Structure formats: C-alpha cells, structure tokens
Amino acid sequence: MKFAGVTVLGENGPKNKTCIYIRAHGLVNHNSYYSTITMSFVPNLASVTPNITVALGIVSLATAAIALLSYLRSFSKKQSKEVFPGPPGIPILGNLLQINPKDIILQLEQWAWEYGPIFKINMMGQEWLIVSDSNVINQQLKERPIRYSHSMKLISVFQELGMHGLLTAEGKFQNFLYINSIHFEVLAIAVRISLLTTHPRPFIHPITGSDWKQSRRWITPQFSPGRVARSKSLVIHHALILRDRLNEHAKKHQITYEKWFPKGEHVSSAVGKKHADRVFYNPKEISPVWSEFSDRTMAVIINYAFAHGKDDLVPPDIVNGIQKVLATINHRLVTPVPTWRFYSTASDRDANKAVKLLNKVIDDIFESIRKDKENGERKDEGHMNTLLESLLYEKIGKGDDVEDAELARSAEKASRLTLEQIKGNLIQVIIAGYDTTANTMNNILYAFACNPTVQARFHSEVDSILGDLAVSTSTSDLTEFFHQDPTVQFPYTYGVMRESMRLYPVVASQMFESNEDTVLDGHFMPKGTITMHLYRPASMRSCPTGDPFEFKPERWIECTDEEKKIMAQDAFGFVCPRICPGRHLATLQIMFYLILSVSRFNVQLMPSPPSATPARERRQFTSMIEGVNVRLVALSCRHLSLSLSRFIPVIPLPLQIGDSKNK
Ligand code: HEM
C-alpha cells in the first residue's frame, strides 16, 4: 500500500479512491474541518513500508495540529459537557480501565444510579454521554436515522461480514467506511494518539438517507400481526418439540440430582477417610437448557424468513453456521483491537464461510421459487408465504387486517428491494431475532426459579384455561384452540413475559452518534457526540406502578392503559421509527413456548455451594443472564392425560431445521 499524498478535500472525496475522512470540530462557531487522506493501493506491501511510516508521521502531525486548533477553540463549548457529572478517571485512559467490556452495562447502570439520568464517562479522550432518562431517550430515538445513527462499530462489524440490511442501514452504503487494512489500524491509532483531546470520533460516520427507509417499508409489513398470526401452527409445532426436549433435560437433571445427593445406601466411603462422602456436586455436570431455546427460535425464524416449504434446499449445518456468525459478531463487538483485519482465525474463516453458504441457500431457494412461479405451481391451501416469497412477488396487505393495509400503503410507495437487499435483510432478520428471543426465554426461566409464587400462579393460569389441551401433542387441535391472541387469553403469562423484559432486557443499551450539532436536555451537543442509552434504569425511573425493582407480573394486569404504555415502551425499542419489526413474532414464540412447553415443568435452581459462580447478566450483541443452572422437574401428575402424552411422540412436520437431534 502506498500513500499517494495527504490532501484536504472537504466532505466529498474523489469517487475512484478509498478515502478516510477525518473531522475536527470548531466547537465555538459550530464549524467543522475535514481533512481527507487519500490513499491509492498497490499490491506489493513489503516494498512500500518506508513510505507508510513517513505518511503516518505526516498524518499524525497534521491531525495533531488540527486537534490542537480545535481544542483551543473548543473551550467555551466544552462548558456544556462539563455540566454533566461522571466518575473520576485517570489521565489519558479516563475511565477505560474501570470497565470490563462484558460487564459494561452493569457498571454503567451502577453509575447511572449514582450520578443521575445523564452522566459522562471518558474513554481514552472520547467523552460518552450515558443517558437513562426516558424523555431524552425518546427524543433521540425518534430523531433517527436523520439526526442520530448507530455506532460505527456495530455498522462496520456487520458490513465486514458482508451483511447489510435494516439493522445497520443508516443511509446510502458508504464504501469508504470500511478499509480492511493493517495500515488503516495503525493510522487510526496514530490519529487517535495525536487527537488526545475531547473529540469523540476522528472517523466520520455514514450520511443518512433513503437506504433504511426503503428496507423498512418492505420488511415491516412482513411482520404485521395479521401475517405473524399465519405462522401460529409453525410456532406451536416447535413449542411441542421444545416440550419434548425439556423433558429430556428434566430426566438428566433428576439423574444429576440423585447422583449429587444420593440417598443413604449410595454413599461412598473412600479408603482412609473417617467419614463417607455424602455430596457429589460437580458444576460441570449440569445440563444447561439455553441451546434448546436457541434451536427453536432459530428454526422458526429460518422457516419464516425463507425455508418453509423448501427445507430440502437447506443443509443441516446452516444452523451451526449462523451460530458461528453470531459468535463472531459478539466477539468483534467487544474486542477493542480488530485483530481480524490483520489475520483470520479459524472462527473468522468459519463465519465467512457460513455467510457465503447462507447467501447460496437463499439463491437456490430463490431459483426454486422462480421456477415454481414459471410452472404455475399452486401452493396448498393455508400455505404460509415466507419473507423471501413475499418480498419477491407478493402484493402486500391483501385480505389482512387494518394494520397490514396501512403498512401496505407505505410499502407501495417504495421501490421493490433488489435480491441483494433482500438477502442482506433476511440474514439480519435472523441475527436480530434469534438470540433476542432465546435469551428472553432463558431470563424467564431464571425469574421463575427465583420466584416460586409467580411460577405457581402461571401454572394455574395455563391449567385453568387449557385444561386437558395443556398436554395435547396435536398441532392442529392447538392451532384451532388458539384462534385468539394468546396475550389476551393468558394475561398473567403475558405479564411474566413483559416483567422479565422490563427487569432483564436483552437489548439493555444502545450506542448512537449524532450526525449533526444538536441540543440535548438543554445542552449543546456537537456533531459526532457519542450517546449510550441505558434502557433498564430509564424504565425503572419512570415506572408508574410502584416497587420498580420487584418481579410482579400482576402489575401488567392491574395497571391502566396509560401506565402499560409507559412500562412497555422500552423493550422493543420505544415508540420510534426503528421500533423492532419482529416484536409480534417474538411475542408469539415466547407465549407459546411458555404456555405449551415451560408450563409442563417446575423450574428450580440447582442446589449449589456458596463458592459457585453466581448467575450474572452478561452482554455481547444482546444481554443474557449467564450461569443460570436450573433444574426442571416434570409435572407429570397434574392431568390424567399427561401420563398418556408421554407415550405419544410429537409428530414432526417437515420442518426440522434447528432440531438439535438432527445436527
Ligand atoms: C424478545 C425479542 C426481541 C427483542 C427484545 C427485540 C428488541 C429490538 C429492539 C430494542 C430494536 C430496536 C433497535 C434500535 O433502536 O435500533 C430491534 C430492532 C430490530 N429487530 Fe428486534 N427484538 C426482538 C426480536 C426480533 C425478531 C424475532 C426479529 C425478526 C424476526 C427482530 C428483528 C429486528 C430488526 C430487523 C430490527 C432493526 C429495525 C430497524 O433498525 O429499523 N427482532 N429489536
């Protein structure tokens, strides 16, 4: 790589070159200065290293000069940020060493209670504003994607894996944002070091535009309540498989429990020991259940997205592949140095392969749908169109409910998505919808284990409404029964779901950058300011129903409509243009998994000694309570028919993707 020169170009760089925009604020008069380093690339890297060193030196000096200038001019504007309190840090590194990336949310929440709804932290010279004030959060979220956009890290991690869709769309796709080069990193570090000022981001963020709007207009109608309701039998089918799997875990948990705490005659007496051992606890022997939830949610979403009716074209290892992609995203989001740009590890290569495979599968299914259409092949009555089919061919809103029609009007205004855009969106929908739903289920199990009275009330609601159907294994009988919205039919169970999302939100925080100078809570915020939202303390501060720290599902039944609106606003992304489009599908899955699967078990915590690692919330792409060691006890005696149901196998539909037994 060779630097052709260093030029100051302003906002628009030459089209045929890769550009990095560097921006320094003129904080007094709102002016900004942009310098652009224009680089041309040649293949032989070894022969040009001296040029790079010289260029880096020049760049560092130039940026240091710009930084110094803007720093001197920024004094009066800095005053606005000074008004916010924050934890004291150390010179240069600020608060960096006080934060463990995996525990960042818990640490920031502690500070939020201590320093108030808006406080600041210093991350190596960058000031971040941490916000847990619902009004301010609402204001910022509503002003997206024009005034605020997702953090560059989130966007670049997805783009580098070749996945671009609704979640990361902010404007027209910016090629210059991503430069996969070791020299870029060295350059970034050099610039960062020379910019040891208060400037938040030396590298420019995307320009907002129509990219997100177009995807949003097409994707949102595909997840309207009317369309999601058509996937009822798909979700019920997987809820029954989940019940079966949890039953296997319950058996294992019983064996482990009996091994750890044997009755009298099983005690072993080691030679030379005065007393026989009576407890054989070993934390490695616990059989965790999270993967069962992730398998089911993955299966449902893949089917919903593209696989339903075309499962012969989906290789079994696709689930494994997607899980690897998600693990890679998680890893990259919390890794401060992007090592994958220097060399690829085996997991980096696996993730790339998995994205390629996903693209190929979608291509194959697209081809098959196209042929079906050409041959005029008719679908069975009641066939559920996948997201792929609908995005390619369907006229949205026909025969559906009012909300569908509303959304259809909006989609009609936008031009159809290209196949490339569809593929990006399908992959992102899977990534966005899979562990969010699975982690929520995991957190509910933890809440049940910690709150036996809540669990008892949940069991009683399910039993009293479902009766003998509670143990039915018939997808069609159950689909027929659930003709109503289950959140209305089972209000306490719905309260359990909402309460767990309020106390243990899986999207507990988000980070944004401002795209323009703005005013936040009466204080001037220059373009490029980083803001981090903390949703849990925000919702707790504004909780209108009392006892905000307690797990009380009944608050969702006893509250007024207005109170419910306030309490529900944060879980799926507030009432903002980017509110989660998959919320109805997520809710349907969680409700059916609880009613048809989890209700068949008593959830307890496995006994453990005081030295055991306590369950703790951890954040990667999404948050989850880790180390939840539950013991499932099958409730086999509540209904006469239950004993029968244990001998009736779940009759599998042809949709077995994600079935861990088939992996
Ligand atoms: C319990 C489950 C879920 C939770 C808690 C959740 C939460 C959220 C939140 C808070 C956002 C807003 C992010 C933002 O403000 O930028 C979001 C966005 C999104 N969610 Fe979900 N989600 C869940 C399930 C799903 C499912 C099942 C799907 C799809 C099948 C999905 C697809 C998406 C997509 C595509 C976006 C991006 C929307 C946009 O940027 O316009 N989510 N989700």
Distance in angstroms (rounded) separating the CA atoms of residues 129 and 118: 7
CB 13 within 8 A of CB 61: no
Return the residue whose CA atom lies nearest to atom 35 of ligand 1. Answer: 429
CATH number at residue 313: 1.10.630.10
> Among the atoms of ligand 1, which is closest to the Cα of residue 297?
27
How many Å lie between the centroid of ligand 1 and the Cα of residue 377? Answer: 34
Per-residue pLDDT tens over the stretch 130-148: 999 998 998 888 888 778 8
- Cα→Cα distances 624→35, 478, 618, Å: 42, 30, 6
Cβ contacts of 437 within 8 Å, gap of 6 or more: 293, 297, 586, 589, 590
**CA 601 from centre of chain:** 28
Distance in angstroms (rounded) separating the CA atoms of residues 370 and 389: 9
Cβ contacts of 644 within 8 Å, gap of 6 or more: 471
Cβ contacts of 420 within 8 Å, gap of 6 or more: none
Q: Is the pLDDT of residue 103 over 70?
A: yes
How many Å lie between the centroid of ligand 1 and the Cα of residue 65? Answer: 42
pLDDT of residue 598: 97
How many Å lie between the centroid of ligand 1 and the Cα of residue 192? Answer: 33
pLDDT band at 650 (very low <50, low <70, confident <90, very high): very low
- Look at residue 624 and tell me if it is in a domain: yes
Q: Is the pLDDT of residue 621 over 70?
A: yes
Name the 3-class secondary structure at 276.
coil
Find tokens 């401002």 and name the residue: 514
pLDDT band at 448 (very low <50, low <70, confident <90, very high): very high
User: What DSSP character marks residue 7?
Assistant: B
Q: Is the pLDDT of residue 463 over 60?
A: yes
Distance in angstroms (rounded) separating the CA atoms of residues 519 and 516: 10
Q: Is the pLDDT of residue 25 over 50?
A: no
> Among the atoms of ligand 1, which is closest to the Cα of residue 165?
35
pLDDT of residue 270: 57
158 φ/ψ angles, rounded to the nearest 5 degrees: -70, -45
Q: Is the pLDDT of residue 334 over 80?
A: no
Q: Report the 3 state secondary structure along 160-226.
A: HCCCCCHHHCCCCCCHHHCCCCHHHHHHHHHHHHHCCCCCCCCECCCCCCCHHHHHHHHHHHHHCHH
Which of 222, 304, 436, 570 to probe ligand 1 with, by most ligand atoms within 8 A of CB?
436
Return the residue whose CA atom lies nearest to atom 20 of ligand 1. Answer: 580
My answer on whether 319 and 424 are in the same domain is yes
Cβ contacts of 481 within 8 Å, gap of 6 or more: 466, 469
Q: Quote the tokens at residue 398.
A: 């026909």
Cβ contacts of 46 within 8 Å, gap of 6 or more: none
Residue 5 identity (one-letter amino acid): G
- Look at residue 113 and tell me if it is in a domain: no
- Look at residue 133 and tell me if it is in a domain: no
> Among the atoms of ligand 1, which is closest to the Cα of residue 216?
41
- Cα→Cα distances 441→233, 294, 492, 598, 648, Å: 20, 9, 16, 9, 26
Return the residue whose CA atom lies nearest to atom 18 of ligand 1. Answer: 580
CB 225 within 8 A of CB 584: yes
pLDDT band at 657 (very low <50, low <70, confident <90, very high): very low
pLDDT of residue 409: 61
How many Å lie between the centroid of ligand 1 and the Cα of residue 203? Answer: 27
How many Å lie between the centroid of ligand 1 and the Cα of residue 363? Answer: 25
CA dihedral of 567, 570, 572, 577, whole degrees rounded to 10: 120
pLDDT of residue 556: 96
Q: Is the pLDDT of residue 496 over 80?
A: yes
CB 80 within 8 A of CB 25: no
My answer on whether 394 and 450 are in the same domain is yes
How many Å lie between the centroid of ligand 1 and the Cα of residue 587? Answer: 12
Q: How much of the chain is helix, strand and coil, in % rounded to 5?
A: 55, 10, 35
- Look at residue 518 and tell me if it is in a domain: no
Cβ contacts of 151 within 8 Å, gap of 6 or more: 511, 512, 513, 530
Return the residue whose CA atom lies nearest to atom 12 of ligand 1. Answer: 573
pLDDT of residue 82: 57
Cβ contacts of 453 within 8 Å, gap of 6 or more: none
Cβ contacts of 660 within 8 Å, gap of 6 or more: 245, 291, 292, 295
Of 315-319, 387-391, 562-566, 617-621, which one has max mean pLDDT?
Answer: 562-566
Report the domain count for the chain.
2
Q: Report the 3 state secondary structure along 90-123.
A: ECCCECHHHCCHHHHHHHHHHHHHHHCCEEEEEE
Per-residue pLDDT tens over the stretch 541-568: 999 999 999 999 999 999 999 999 899 8
How many degrees, rounded to 5, is the angle at CA 154 between CA 152 and CA 158? 115
Distance in angstroms (rounded) separating the CA atoms of residues 527 and 33: 12
Return the residue whose CA atom lies nearest to atom 25 of ligand 1. Answer: 433
Of 75-89, 304-318, 403-417, which one has max mean pLDDT?
Answer: 304-318
| Mean residue pLDDT across the chain | 77
Which of 158, 302, 391, 580 to probe ligand 1 with, by most ligand atoms within 8 A of CB?
580
Q: Is the pLDDT of residue 625 over 70?
A: yes
My answer on whether 194 and 263 are in the same domain is no
pLDDT of residue 501: 96
Determine whether 29 is exposed, middle or buried from the number of CB atoms within 10 Å of its CB (0-12, 13-18, 19+): exposed
What mean pLDDT do residues 35-44 have?
Answer: 34
If you count them, how many residues does the chain have? 663
Q: Is 450 annotated as a binding residue?
A: no
What mean pLDDT do residues 459-469 have?
Answer: 94
Which range is least confidently modeled, 22-26, 240-244, 258-262, 430-434? 22-26
Which range is least confidently modeled, 75-84, 121-130, 149-158? 75-84
- Look at residue 540 and tell me if it is in a domain: no
Q: Is the pLDDT of residue 447 over 90?
A: yes
CA dihedral of 92, 97, 103, 107, whole degrees rounded to 10: -70
Distance in angstroms (rounded) separating the CA atoms of residues 346 and 401: 48
pLDDT of residue 381: 59
pLDDT of residue 125: 81
Q: Is the pLDDT of residue 197 over 90?
A: no
How many Å lie between the centroid of ligand 1 and the Cα of residue 507? Answer: 9
My answer on whether 182 and 264 are in the same domain is no
Find tokens 């890297």 and name the residue: 45
CB 221 within 8 A of CB 407: yes
Which range is least confidently modeled, 132-136, 160-164, 350-354, 396-400? 396-400
My answer on whether 254 and 188 are in the same domain is no
Q: Quote the tokens at residue 130.
A: 């941490």
> Among the atoms of ligand 1, which is closest to the Cα of residue 304?
30
My answer on whether 289 and 193 are in the same domain is no
CB 158 within 8 A of CB 330: no
CB 158 within 8 A of CB 167: yes
> Among the atoms of ligand 1, which is closest to the Cα of residue 439?
1
Return the residue whose CA atom lies nearest to atom 16 of ligand 1. Answer: 578
Q: Is the pLDDT of residue 654 over 50?
A: no
Find tokens 């004030």 and name the residue: 133
pLDDT band at 655 (very low <50, low <70, confident <90, very high): very low
Residue 180 identity (one-letter amino acid): N
CA atoms within 13 A on the CB side of 331: 14
What mean pLDDT do residues 436-464 have?
Answer: 96
My answer on whether 201 and 315 are in the same domain is no
Per-residue pLDDT tens over the stretch 220-252: 888 988 889 989 999 999 999 999 999 999 999
pLDDT of residue 104: 87
What mean pLDDT do residues 439-467 have?
Answer: 96
- Look at residue 434 and tell me if it is in a domain: yes
My answer on whether 201 and 275 are in the same domain is no
CB 216 within 8 A of CB 391: no
Q: Is the pLDDT of residue 642 over 50?
A: no
My answer on whether 190 and 298 are in the same domain is no
How many Å lie between the centroid of ligand 1 and the Cα of residue 433? Answer: 6
Residue with the bigger pLDDT between 524 and 651: it is 524
Q: Is the pLDDT of residue 647 over 90?
A: no
Q: Name which of 283, 284, 298 is nearest 242 in CA terms.
A: 298
In sequence order, the β-bridge partners of residue 234 are none
My answer on whether 420 and 283 are in the same domain is yes
Cβ contacts of 364 within 8 Å, gap of 6 or more: 313
- Look at residue 53 and tell me if it is in a domain: yes
User: What's the Rg (C-alpha) of the chain?
Assistant: 27
pLDDT of residue 395: 60
How many Å lie between the centroid of ligand 1 and the Cα of residue 44? Answer: 44
> Among the atoms of ligand 1, which is closest to the Cα of residue 169?
40
Prediction ipTM score: 0.98
Return the residue whose CA atom lies nearest to atom 3 of ligand 1. Answer: 436
Is the backbone peptide bond immediately before 101 cis, with ω within 30 degrees of 0? no
pLDDT of residue 341: 83
> Among the atoms of ligand 1, which is closest to the Cα of residue 579?
12
Return the residue whose CA atom lies nearest to atom 24 of ligand 1. Answer: 433
pLDDT band at 443 (very low <50, low <70, confident <90, very high): very high
My answer on whether 399 and 466 are in the same domain is yes
- Look at residue 565 and tell me if it is in a domain: no
Find tokens 């089209």 and name the residue: 15
What mean pLDDT do residues 430-456 have?
Answer: 95
pLDDT of residue 267: 54
Q: Is the pLDDT of residue 205 over 90?
A: no
Q: Is the pLDDT of residue 345 over 70?
A: yes
What does the buried/exposed string (b/e) look like for 258-295 if buried means 16 or more CB atoms within 10 Å of the residue's CB?
eebeeeeeeeeeeeeeeeeeeeeeeeeebbebbebbbb
Ligand 1 site residues, Cβ closer than 6 angstroms? 166-167, 216, 301, 428-429, 432-433, 436-437, 440, 506-507, 510, 571-573, 578, 580-582, 585-586
Residue 105 identity (one-letter amino acid): I
CB 41 within 8 A of CB 179: no
Q: Name which of 434, 479, 480, 454 is nearest 586 in CA terms.
A: 434
My answer on whether 228 and 198 are in the same domain is no
Return the residue whose CA atom lies nearest to atom 40 of ligand 1. Answer: 167
Per-residue pLDDT tens over the stretch 148-170: 888 777 888 888 888 878 887 76
Return the residue whose CA atom lies nearest to atom 19 of ligand 1. Answer: 580
What H or E segment, with its residue span, contains residue 293?
A: helix 290-302
Percentage of the chain surpassing pLDDT 90?
Answer: 38
Per-residue pLDDT tens over the stretch 277-333: 888 999 999 888 999 999 999 999 999 998 888 888 988 888 889 889 988 988 888
Residue with the bigger pLDDT between 660 and 28: it is 660
User: What residue numbers bound the domain in which 637 lies?
Assistant: 220-507+571-662
